[in-house]
Amino acid sequence: MKKSEEIIKTGENYFLNTYNRYPVVLDHGEGVYLYDIEGKRYLDFFAGIAVYALGHGNREFNEALKGQIDRLLHTSNLFYNEPASKAAEVFCRASGMDRVFFTNSGTEAIEGAIKTARKYAYLKDGGTDHEIISMEHSFHGRSMGALSVTGNPHYREAFGPDIGNIRFASFNDLDSVRKLVNDKTCAIIMETVQGEGGVYPADPDFLKEVRKLCDERDILLILDEIQCGMGRTGSLFAWQSYGVKPDVMTSAKALGCGVPVGAFAMTAKVADHSLVPGDHGSTYGGNPFAATAVLAVFEQYEKLGIVDHVREVAPLLEQALDELKASHACIVDRRGKGLLQALELDRPVAGVIADAREEGLLLISAGANTLRFVPPLTIGREDIQEMKKRLDKVLGKS
Ligand SMILES: *Cc1c(COP(=O)(O)O)cnc(C)c1O
């Protein structure tokens, strides 16, 4: 038996059966390429689901992590440590937010954002029945709170009751939002660019009008930047390119570039009128190791000019995908922002993803009929051409 078959079999015997895993055992990576345990090389347009922004094997990032491992891994948030204080400063300066709480995942960042909004409203009127408006086709995570605001009924159905008082509007449809707003509304939550739900950027006018609506009624605007943030769309956070600032925002995925860390952050006004000591906590959240990752990520972004690079190469990716669309009738749409792109097909994409893998190209879906392209942000012109060549071959077969 091949070693990979053995590893897959062991996993299948013991993992809880919650994933349809691909039959590939990944072993190591280099730049925008990944290698499986048998040595097969894959061009990585998947990046661990939009996580590996720096590509694989960034030496300085890795050295920073190793250094912190030998110094101190964990302290508890009841103490201060240098990486955490610095990471908080760097995150706030970069985002324009005033206060941040580090979490271990995106879903926990959403939990924190929801608790912040409910507490903010509670302090105003003492009510405990406030409502949150979320968007259809959104994705915010798998814990009960995050799941409750996730606009995919299929994910929620078996796990009711949800946290309650969640209303769903249609994304980019202002009237549908207006209709749901009332005196109990404490927050409107959305991804600035919907990822999982099919890669749909917010309309600039929609986002501006929602911001206005929130201002008029003192409703908190929560922008989920877990997937679209950290430079992926051509600004450090996608909302920065819209000229709309959230009251609360979430981050994760590329924030740690592989180290599990997330964040929710807010303006001073919200911070001063919401969570206080005892309201929220996390044993691991933002521990010295995770905080070192955040710091090292921001350092590498600065040094490598990641955000500028995204602005440079994103049009090349768009062009390559448009060319694929022009030559394959099965492609019905190309959409996205920056290096968060999608091709929608007139059929399910599972077969295409499997064939692409055979061709040494890793892709992920965003809904049954949509291919998602979330490469490392370090991707170059040649890598985009290589992806196009391989995908062209795969689509030619189907
Ligand atoms: C991935 C994702 C989450 C959940 O993050 P986890 O780290 O998997 O918990 C939430 N929101 C968005 C937009 C995401 O893409």
CATH number of residue 340's parent domain: 3.90.1150.10
The fraction of the chain above a pLDDT of 90, given in percent, is: 99
Same-domain pairing of 366 and 390: yes
Ligand 1 center–CA 60 separation, angstroms: 26
227 lines ligand 1 (CB under 6 A): yes
Same-domain pairing of 88 and 195: yes
111 lines ligand 1 (CB under 6 A): no
In a domain, 66, yes or no: no
Average pLDDT, the chain: 97
CA distances from 194 to 37, 138, 151, 189, 197 (A): 33, 6, 11, 12, 6
Confidence of residue 1 (pLDDT cuts 50, 70, 90): confident
Closest residue (by CA) to atom 11 of ligand 1?
Answer: 140
| Predicted confidence (pLDDT) at residue 147 exceeds the cutoff of 70 | yes
Q: Which of 304, 321, 344 is the last residue of a domain?
A: 304
Same-domain pairing of 173 and 184: yes
| Predicted confidence (pLDDT) at residue 30 exceeds the cutoff of 80 | yes
Closest residue (by CA) to atom 10 of ligand 1?
Answer: 140
- What tens digit of pLDDT does each residue of 284-297 get? 999 999 999 999 99
195 lines ligand 1 (CB under 6 A): yes
In a domain, 67, yes or no: no
Classify the C-alpha dihedral 381-382-383-386 as positive or negative.
Answer: positive
Q: Pseudo-torsion of CA 335, 249, 363, 5, nearest 10°?
A: -160
103 lines ligand 1 (CB under 6 A): no
| Predicted confidence (pLDDT) at residue 133 exceeds the cutoff of 70 | yes
Structure tokens at 159: 């796990």
Over range 138-144, report the average pLDDT: 98
Q: Which of 244, 273, 304 is the last residue of a domain?
A: 304
Same-domain pairing of 241 and 358: no
Amino acid at site 144: M
- What tens digit of pLDDT does each residue of 67-79 get? 999 999 999 999 9
In a domain, 299, yes or no: yes
Classify the C-alpha dihedral 233-234-236-237 as positive or negative.
Answer: negative
- What tens digit of pLDDT does each residue of 186-238 get? 999 999 999 999 999 999 999 999 999 999 999 999 999 999 999 999 999 99
Confidence of residue 398 (pLDDT cuts 50, 70, 90): low
In a domain, 365, yes or no: yes
Prediction pTM value = 0.98
**370 forms bridges with which residues in the sheet?**
344
Ligand 1 center–CA 166 separation, angstroms: 18
Give the CA angle between residues 107, 194, 271 to the nearest 5°.
Answer: 50
Query: In terms of residue numbers, what domain contains 24?
Result: 3-57+305-397
Report the atom number in ligand 1 closest to the C-alpha of 194: 13
Q: Which long-range contacts (CB under 8 A, 24 or more apart) does 16-20 make?
A: none
Same-domain pairing of 368 and 233: no
29 lines ligand 1 (CB under 6 A): no
Cβ(227)–Cβ(190) below 8 Å: no
194 lines ligand 1 (CB under 6 A): no
Closest residue (by CA) to atom 7 of ligand 1?
Answer: 106
Rounded Cα distance, 189 and 168, in Å: 10
Over range 261-270, report the average pLDDT: 98
In a domain, 63, yes or no: no
In a domain, 234, yes or no: yes
In a domain, 96, yes or no: yes
Same-domain pairing of 194 and 247: yes
344 lines ligand 1 (CB under 6 A): no
Closest residue (by CA) to atom 15 of ligand 1?
Answer: 227
Question: Of the candidates 198, 143, 147, which has an alpha carbon nearest to the alpha carbon of residue 171?
Answer: 198
- What tens digit of pLDDT does each residue of 342-389 get? 999 999 999 999 999 999 999 999 999 999 999 999 999 999 999 999
| Predicted confidence (pLDDT) at residue 397 exceeds the cutoff of 90 | no
Structure tokens at 50: 């939009």
Same-domain pairing of 262 and 279: yes
Report the atom number in ligand 1 closest to the C-alpha of 196: 15
Same-domain pairing of 251 and 150: yes
**162 forms bridges with which residues in the sheet?**
none
Same-domain pairing of 296 and 342: no
Same-domain pairing of 76 and 165: yes
Structure tokens at 68: 């912190």
Closest residue (by CA) to atom 6 of ligand 1?
Answer: 106
Predicted confidence at residue 2, as pLDDT, reads: 87
223 lines ligand 1 (CB under 6 A): no
| Domain total in the chain | 2
196 lines ligand 1 (CB under 6 A): yes
Q: Tell me which of 196, 199, 259 to substitute to probe ligand 1's pocket, judged by most ligand atoms within 8 Å of the beta carbon.
A: 196
| Predicted confidence (pLDDT) at residue 122 exceeds the cutoff of 80 | yes
Same-domain pairing of 318 and 270: no
296: domain CATH number is: 3.40.640.10
Name every residue whose Cβ is closer than 8 Å to that of residue 379 and which is 6 or more positions away in sequence.
32, 55, 313, 317, 339
191 lines ligand 1 (CB under 6 A): yes
| Helices marked H in 126-171 | 144-148, 153-156
Predicted confidence at residue 289, as pLDDT, reads: 98
Q: Which of 304, 328, 343 is the last residue of a domain?
A: 304
Same-domain pairing of 50 and 174: no
Q: Tell me which of 104, 138, 140 to substitute to probe ligand 1's pocket, judged by most ligand atoms within 8 Å of the beta carbon.
A: 140
In a domain, 297, yes or no: yes
What b/e readout covers 247-275, taking b as 16+ CB neighbours within 10 angstroms? bbbbbbbbbbbbbbbbbbbbbeebbebbb
